[in-house]
A and B are shown apart, each in its own frame.
Chain A
Amino acid sequence: MKRFDYVRPSSIAEAVSAAALPGSAILGAGTNLLDMMKIGSAQPERLVDITRLPGLDGIDWLPDGSVEIGALVRNADLAYDERFARRFPSVAEALLSGASPQLRNAATAGGNVMQHTRCAYFHDLSSACNRRSPGSGCDALNGENRLHAVLGWSEHCIATHPSDFCVPLVALDAVVEIEGHKGRRELALEALHLLPGNTPEVESALMPGELIVALRLPAEAADFASHTRYLKLRERTSYAFAVVSAAAALVVDAGVVQSARLALGGVAAKPWRARRAEDALTGKPASPEAFAEAARLALADAKPSGHNAFKIELARRIVVRALTEAATGTPERTIPLPGSVFTTQAGSNHVA
């Protein structure tokens, strides 16, 4: 690992100043950053440790019913917070379907949002990667790319964003609260992660030095609490990134969809909101035909970026499955294998 300076600011203003210096990286739990520093895909000159900053580790319920999740709230603490999990069960399910218990105990909400792609070519310094080294090319295009993007990719980059947490958050209109030199600003989470286009090295809409201080879910996001799921297909039953995943949330009245939310994970460089599918579902009966049409619309623009055409059909199927499960109703208790498509009902075993 390359040597670095370690600084521990005592205020957000100090953190923003230190983080704005060239070569700085923000350290939360470090579960992604330290891993990257060990293999060299991150080589910061300065780590700005924000873990001691006051006021960033709370789950705060605001008077209007929205909830503010501090950037330093650990993944496990959020997922197991009873009030939070009851209002936003698919967010809890997504959190518990990600990583391992040890990582969830450490990893922070802000860090989850800001984690990097797991594209092997991004992390392998001997490979060409426009995201890591602009203009060098993309070895993934002609490499092992069966898990790469099928939506929103460009010839310069076909990486995906690996977060589970972000998928239901984007579906539920989460907002990112950001501190920077010019004070506080807000951004829809959907606008935070950028598609690669011609500049895959620009991964997010954050400016140098800007720090995510909280994520906020609006009160209306809880309207879906009784009919929402996050489903995830993995190459092993647990502790693996999504091949494809879907967060579905419905308001159903007398069998008719009043309101629908849908987002996909594992398919693009950002959590992918499927608004056309949402619009098409609204006012329709919660039926297999409506869900199949929603899946068709959600993947209408999908294109294989390599040996991954199978992901398009898989994504359609997981959309149908997630909508079907959401329409059936949120399980009373988190299932033994959160997010797993191999668990069809509460309490069932994944091994027959």
Chain B
Amino acid sequence: MSLSINLTINGQLRDITLDDPRVTLLDLLRERLDLTGTKKGCDRGQCGACTVLVNGRRMNSCLALTASLDGAVITTIEGLADGDTLHPLQSAFIEHDGFQCGFCTPGQIMSAAGLIAEAQAGDDPERIRELMSGNICRCGAYQGITEAVQQAQREMIARNRKDAA
């Protein structure tokens, strides 16, 4: 049984042929498209390392069946920077030491991108922590992560205001 679907991944439209319906979005990205920035931590939806944006919303790619996503627009950590210019979240994570080993970082950053788009947290660190609770950092860099999300969000809001003006 072979399935053909289309996905737009980091701005590029791709035809995907699946010889096996079991392929998760995470395994598609890592094993078949060589996009290994997205990490496989628990593979059970518990750690958040595999977080990507699906149609602009953060989701666990380990629990998404590729076959079901025909037509979806996917953004991974590889698609976040603008050429050589880092995304504000990427810069802020570096500036605030939002990681040590770095394994959870792509998932943290994609989750933070989703959080900022959802616009439910404001600048409240308590709400940011709660809304980042789907991403586990075993190095315990949570303080830096929270500060990085706050800073990036402020920058992005300021930039949007400037663009709108």
Interface on A for B, CB 8 Å cutoff? 1, 3-6, 8, 27, 29-31, 34-35, 38, 47, 49, 51, 76, 80, 99-103, 105-106, 237-239, 336-338, 349-350
Question: Looking at the complex, which of B54-62, B143-151, B155-163 is the stretch in contact with chain A?
Answer: B54-62
Assess whether B114 is interfacial by the CB under 8 Å rule.
Answer: yes
Contact partner of A6 (CB less than 8 A), chosen from B3, B54, B60, B133, is B3
Contact partner of A34 (CB less than 8 A), chosen from B65, B111, B130, is B65
12 sampled A-B residue pairs with Cβ under 8 A: A6-B3, A30-B64, A34-B65, A100-B45, A101-B58, A101-B111, A101-B114, A101-B118, A101-B131, A101-B133, A105-B57, A350-B126
- Given contacts A6-B67, A100-B134, are A106 and B124 in contact (CB under 8 A)? no
Q: Is the interface of A mostly helix, strand, loop or mixed?
A: loop
In the bound complex, residues from chain B placing their C-beta under 8 Å from that of A1 are 22
C-alpha gap A307/B68 in the complex (Å): 42
- A334: nearest chain-B partner, CB-CB: B120
Query: How many Cβ-Cβ contacts under 8 Å join chain A to chain B?
Result: 97
Contact, CB under 8 Å: B58 / A38 = no
- A337: nearest chain-B partner, CB-CB: B130
Smallest CB–CB gap between B88 and chain A, Å? 20
- A3: nearest chain-B partner, CB-CB: B22
A100-B48, A337-B130 known; 16 new pairs, CB 8 Å cut-off, are A3-B21, A4-B22, A6-B3, A6-B21, A34-B63, A34-B64, A99-B134, A101-B114, A102-B60, A102-B114, A103-B60, A105-B57, A105-B58, A105-B114, A238-B129, A338-B130
In the bound complex, residues from chain A placing their C-beta under 8 Å from that of B51 are 102
Contact, CB under 8 Å: B64 / A238 = no
In the bound complex, residues from chain A placing their C-beta under 8 Å from that of B30 are none
Smallest CB–CB gap between B106 and chain A, Å? 13
Smallest CB–CB gap between A234 and chain B, Å? 11
C-alpha gap A47/B21 in the complex (Å): 10
